Amino acid sequence: MALTIDHIFALYETKGGLTYGEDMSQVEHALQCAECAKADGAAESLIVACLLHDIGHLFEDEAEVVEGLRDDRHEATGAARLDALFGAAVSRPVALHVAAKRYLCAREPGYCDALSAASKASLALQGGPFEAAQAARFETLPYWREAVQLRRYDDLGKVVGRALPDFASYRPIVERAARVAG
């Protein structure tokens, strides 16, 4: 079944309350990331990528997400489902946001140490920091810069108790991003 905007909003309504080790729900984290991008003046495609970057978790088994039992490549699952609806400007940063974490750990002194405990745990499951050659290859990929920016918003989007807009308030931006891709 092709992913639709209605399906996306239904997923976040039904499964967005899932927590994943950051003491907040998927929807709270999604909104915080999108709000950071929006406040920074990011392109709408990147705002949508921030909002939906962890959608792949919503297709996973809930217990495995909560307990961090394995890495089932939520970034690849999410990007594959988003691509037909939004195109590369949304799906590629989503696909690369885990690699961007590994990249920043390799390239930016102190980045790894500043990660949340949950991000450090998932980093180990995801392969750890890139080696120099992997980081250099990452820099050749389309949308790598947007993925790094998404990752920075991801890191900022973990403040427990932050006041947030309703998820539905993002529907117009999501719809515009889908129309641009179509």
Please give the pLDDT value at position 90. Answer: 97
Give the residue extent of every domain in the chain. Answer: 5-181
DSSP 75-88: HHHHHHHHHHHH-H
The C-alpha atoms of residue 149 and residue 152 are separated, in whole angstroms, by 5
CATH 1.10.3210.10 is right for the domain spanning 5-181: yes
Q: 64: how many CB neighbours lie within 10 A of its CB?
A: 13
Please give the pLDDT value at position 63. Answer: 59
The pTM assigned to this predicted structure is: 0.92
Residues in the chain predicted with pLDDT less than 70, given as ranges, are: 1, 20, 61-72, 182
